[in-house]
Each structure stands twice: as C-alpha cells, then as structure tokens.
C-alpha cells in the first residue's frame, strides 16, 4: 500500500521546468481563477488524505459536519474518533472572507489593511493511540486581500518515543516535495519550522519539525518569520531572493500536501504494532500536554480562527482527547523518555549530524 501511495504522489508532482527567476516580477497578480483553484486544491487534499487515513486505520471513519460563518464563508470538518489507530483526529477545510483582517495577520502584512480578504485552507491534526506512533500536523492555505496575496503552510511530526529513521523519513519526503519546485526551499523552510513550532516558555520544540513557510507572495523573499537573527533568516539571506510565480507556489502547496501520506504512512506501519504499557501511555499523555500548550498559547492558526469568529469546535479539534500535566516532571536519566526530551525537542541536522546515531543506538532508537 505504501508503495502505491508513493507512486501516486510521484506521479502528481508538479512540473520540473521552472520559470527563470529573472522573468519573475514581484507583485505579480494572481490568475483570475485563483480563489477557485486554491479552494479546489485544498478540498482535494482533504478528500485524498481522509480516504488514505481511513484505509490505513481500517475501522475508523471520518464524520463530516458542514458549517457556515455569519460574516462570510464556512467549511467542512471531518473528525475520526476511537479508530483502530487514531484515538482522535480531524481534517478540516475552510473558506472564509471578511472586510478587515485580524491583528494577527495585519502585524505581518500591514499593507493588507483596509482591504476585503479571502482565505481558504486545509488543516489536520492526528492523535494516534499507540505512544510509539507520533502525532502529526498539516496545514496549507491561501490568502488574498486586495492587491496582496500569499501562500503558507507546512507539516510537522511530534513523536513521544524517538526513532531517528522516522524523523529522517518525514523530513526526506518533504524535502523531495520542496525540491520539486526549487532545491533552495527546504533549506529555509526546515529551520523556519523549528523556529515556529517552539514553546518559548518551555524552551523546546514541539517535536522533530518538518517544514513551515508563510507569506510567500512571489516577491522572492523566502523568510518572513519572527527571528531576523535566527537560522532560517540567516539561510534565506545567504541564498538571496528566490522569486516564485503564483503557479510555482500553487504547485508547492500541492506537492507538499500530496507528500503527507507517503511521509506518515510508513511510520504508522513500522510503529503501531509495538507493545506498550502504562508507563508509555502516561508519558504520551504528559507530552500531549505540551501540544495543548503550544496550540492554545502560540499557534497563529488558532489565534486567527478565534479572532475571525471561526467555528470553535473546528478550531480546537487539534487538541487531543486526553492529556495530563505533572508538576516539575523530570524523566529518569538515561531513559528513552530523557532521549526524547533532550534530543528530539531540539532543532537537529537530521541528515548531516553523525552523532545522532551514536546517541540513539543505546536506546534502540535508530530504526
């Protein structure tokens, strides 16, 4: 099944021939049917991912609810509960519009102020039952506000028990998707993901990352994050301008969205059969608490949804069904839980650092 998913993804990858950056004009206007095409793309990703996840789970099914937003637009939320693999998970589609963007967006794009806006996207969070299967998140979106437009999105992996090969596979698959549009993108989007999914109050990443990008508008500016001195900003400065057309950015969203199942499915197949006990379950619930903290305190998607009067149940479907907190918890020194905490919640060079294998091997956490 995994081979067929990967072949299907490969067959749908975007065009290999790219428009020369010298022909790109910053501020390019989107095509006349941009909104319809973006909507169709994210709806198709929702359909494809839901169908693939139901096939993988084997017994769980997504229940769909459609909703309307009084100020304009709406969406469809699909939630699976008590599946064979997924304790709970949701895959959302939304298409919303309004007269004034919320502060969380205007802070980054003040030139959009005063313009009617449109946004469409798909987002997903899956919480498997087995602690050896990681939680995973995906989001791809498109915005327009008057003359301003941009694409954003990404996917990241949050393991509870570490396996180096899982982190590498997830990153490798998304790197290949980025490379299908431009080989410089992953070099910025990987550290940007480490930076974005970071719990400042805990000084740790949410997991092993993946890719993250935002405000990609064809101007050639790859990085528009919060840390102008950080690794992503430095790499973007080193690379220089990478002007991408609307069509290329549209292709990037499609390539990465279709990369999700090949990136995540093999991890499920490798780990879901592993046996676990109460210790592993309790540690999973404890680490899920960190996921809740990030989504409620730092996540811009949650903030945007609430500020724009989105459907609360759909916005908060990213939260796990069960989680716990423990005062001043410290994992036992030398334990696998300590390896997760010390290594897999810190930004890593997953492909270029040979010491990772040496640190993971004593815990049987390489393969």
Q: Which residues pair with 86 in a beta bridge?
A: 128
- Alpha carbons within 13 angstroms on the beta-carbon side of residue 210 total 29
Query: H helices within the chain, ranges in order?
Result: 2-11, 34-57, 103-106, 164-179, 185-196, 231-239, 246-271, 278-297, 300-307, 312-315, 336-343, 355-360
Q: Which of 127, 137, 171, 174 is catalytic?
A: 137
Token digits for 235?
Answer: 């790499």
What are φ and ψ of residue 10, in 5° steps?
Answer: -60, -40
- SS3 label, residue 200: coil
Helix, strand, coil percentages for the chain (3-state, nearest 5): 45, 20, 35
For residue 120, count CB atoms less than 10 angstroms from its CB and return exposed for 0-12, middle for 13-18, buried for 19 or more.
Answer: buried
For residue 334, count CB atoms less than 10 angstroms from its CB and return exposed for 0-12, middle for 13-18, buried for 19 or more.
Answer: exposed
Per-position DSSP letters for 22-52, written without gaps between them: GG--TTPPPPTTHHHHHHHHHHHHHHHHHHH
Q: Could you tell me the sign of the dihedral formed by the alpha carbons of 337, 83, 49, 75, in that order?
A: negative
- First-to-final CA distance of the chain: 20
174 is catalytic: no
Contact 344, 283 (CB under 8 A): no
Place of tokens 């010298």: 22
Tell me how far apart the alpha carbons of residues 167 and 240 are, in angstroms, rounded to a whole number.
Answer: 28
Residues assigned a catalytic role: 137
């Amino acid at each position: 099944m995994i081979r067929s998913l990967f072949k299907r993804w490969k067959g749908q990858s975007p065009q290999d021939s790219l428009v020369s950056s010298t022909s790109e004009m910053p501020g390019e206007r989107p095509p006349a049917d941009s909104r319809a095409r973006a909507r169709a793309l994210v709806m198709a990703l929702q359909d494809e991912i839901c169908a693939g996840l139901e096939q993988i789970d084997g017994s769980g099914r997504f229940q769909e609810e459609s909703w309307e937003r009084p100020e304009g637009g709406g969406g469809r939320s699909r939630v699976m509960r008590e599946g064979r693999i997924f304790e709970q998970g949701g895959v959302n589609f939304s298409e919303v519009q309004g007269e004034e963007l919320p502060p969380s967006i205007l802070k980054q794009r003040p030139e959009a102020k005063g313009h009617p806006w449109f946004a469409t996207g798909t987002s997903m969070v899956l919480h498997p039952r087995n602690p050896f299967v990681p939680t995973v998140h995906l989001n791809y979106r498109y915005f327009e506000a008057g003359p301003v437009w941009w694409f954003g999105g990404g996917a990241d992996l949050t393991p509870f028990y570490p396996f180096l090969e899982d982190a590498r596979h997830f990153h490798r698959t998304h790197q290949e998707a980025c490379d299908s549009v431009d080989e410089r993108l992953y070099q910025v989007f990987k550290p940007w993901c480490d930076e974005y999914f970071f719990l400042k109050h805990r000084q740790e990443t949410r997991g092993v990352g993946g890719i993250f990008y935002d405000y990609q508008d064809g101007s050639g500016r790859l990085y528009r994050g919060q840390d102008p001195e950080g690794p992503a900003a430095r790499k973007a400065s080193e690379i220089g301008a990478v002007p991408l057309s609307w069509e290329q950015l549209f292709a990037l969203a499609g390539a990465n969205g279709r990369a999700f199942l090949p990136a995540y499915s093999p991890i499920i197949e490798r780990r879901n059969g592993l046996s676990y006990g109460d210790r592993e379950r309790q540690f999973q619930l404890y680490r899920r608490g960190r996921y809740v903290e990030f989504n409620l305190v730092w996540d811009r998607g949650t903030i945007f949804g609430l500020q724009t009067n989105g459907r609360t149940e759909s916005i908060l479907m990213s939260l796990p069904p069960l989680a716990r907190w423990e005062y001043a918890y410290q994992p036992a020194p030398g334990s696998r839980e300590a390896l997760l905490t010390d290594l897999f919640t810190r930004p890593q060079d997953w492909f270029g650092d040979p010491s990772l294998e040496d640190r993971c091997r004593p815990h049987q956490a390489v393969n």
